[in-house]
C-alpha cells in the first residue's frame, strides 16, 4: 500500500467520523437525546468491531476490508466479528483472497451498475473451524451467474438463498 492510499483511507475514516458527529450534534440541537444515545452506541460498536478486526492479526484482510467500501462505488459492506480472541494470521492471505474473489464475482454479477448492493461480512470462530459468512441483498444481482462464479472459483463454500427477503448467504469454512 502506498502513502497516498494510506492518506486516502485516513481521509475517508475521518470523513465518516465527522458525518457521525454532525448527526449527533443535530440530534442534540433538536433535544433528541434518545437518538443521540443510539447513534453514539452505533459509533462505539463500529470502533469495537474495528478493534476486533485489528486484533485478529490479519493485516492484509483488515486492510482489504477497511478499503472495500471506498474502492467499490456500488458495494457497501458492514462487518461483524464474533468471538475473535485468537490469532488468525495463518489464514490472513486466504481470507483476503476469498474476499477479493467474492467481490470480483459480485461486481460482475450486478445487473445494474447504478444499483447499490449492500451486505455484511462476518467471521465466526468455532471450536475446530473459522467461518467467513458473507450476506448480500440480492435484488440487483444475476443470482445464477453469481452462484456459478462462486462455485467455480472458491472452494469450501455453502450458498444459501433466502427468497423471502432477497438475500444470499455464502459461508466459507477454514480449519482453525
Nearest to 61 by CA among 148, 134, 138, 146: 134
Is the predicted pLDDT of residue 151 greater than 70, yes or no?
yes
Rounded to an integer, the average pLDDT of 97-121 is 89
- d(CA 17, CA 39) in angstroms, rounded, equals 12
59-86 burial by CB neighbour count: b if 16+ within 10 A, else e? ebbbbbbbebeeebeebebebebeebee
Helix and strand counts by DSSP (H, E) for the chain: 5, 5
Residue 32 pLDDT class (50, 70, 90 cuts):
very high
CA atoms within 13 A on the CB side of 20: 17
Give the integer Cα–Cα distance in Å for 40 and 30.
16
What are the pLDDT digits (tens) for 129-138?
899 999 998 7
In the three-class reduction of DSSP (H, G, I as helix; E, B as strand; rest coil), residue 115 is classed as coil
The pLDDT tens digits of the residues spanning 112-124 come to 777 889 999 999 9
CA angle 93, 71, 68 (to 5 degrees): 45
Instruction: Grade residue 163 by pLDDT with cuts at 50, 70 and 90.
Output: low
- Residue 170: burial class (beta carbons within 10 Å; 0-12, 13-18, 19+): buried
d(CA 149, CA 103): 11
Amino acid at each position: 500500500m502506498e502513502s497516498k492510499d494510506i492518506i486516502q483511507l485516513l481521509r475517508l475514516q475521518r470523513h465518516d467520523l465527522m458525518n457521525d458527529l454532525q448527526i449527533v450534534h443535530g440530534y442534540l440541537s433538536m433535544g433528541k437525546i434518545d437518538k443521540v444515545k443510539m447513534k453514539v452506541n452505533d459509533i462505539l460498536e463500529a470502533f469495537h468491531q474495528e478493534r476486533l478486526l485489528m486484533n485478529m492479526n490479519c493485516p492484509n484482510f483488515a486492510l482489504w476490508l477497511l478499503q472495500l467500501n471506498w474502492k467499490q462505488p456500488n458495494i457497501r459492506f458492514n462487518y461483524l466479528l464474533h468471538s475473535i480472541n485468537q490469532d488468525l494470521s495463518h489464514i490472513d492471505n486466504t481470507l483476503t483472497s476469498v474476499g477479493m474473489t467474492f467481490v470480483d464475482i459480485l461486481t460482475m454479477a450486478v445487473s445494474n451498475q447504478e444499483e447499490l448492493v449492500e451486505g455484511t461480512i462476518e467471521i465466526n470462530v468455532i471450536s475446530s473451524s473459522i467461518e467467513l459468512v458473507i450476506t448480500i441483498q440480492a435484488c440487483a444481482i444475476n443470482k445464477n451467474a453469481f452462484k456459478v462464479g462462486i462455485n467455480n472459483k472458491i472452494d469450501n463454500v455453502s450458498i444459501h438463498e433466502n427468497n423471502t427477503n432477497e438475500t444470499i448467504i455464502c459461508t466459507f469454512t477454514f480449519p482453525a
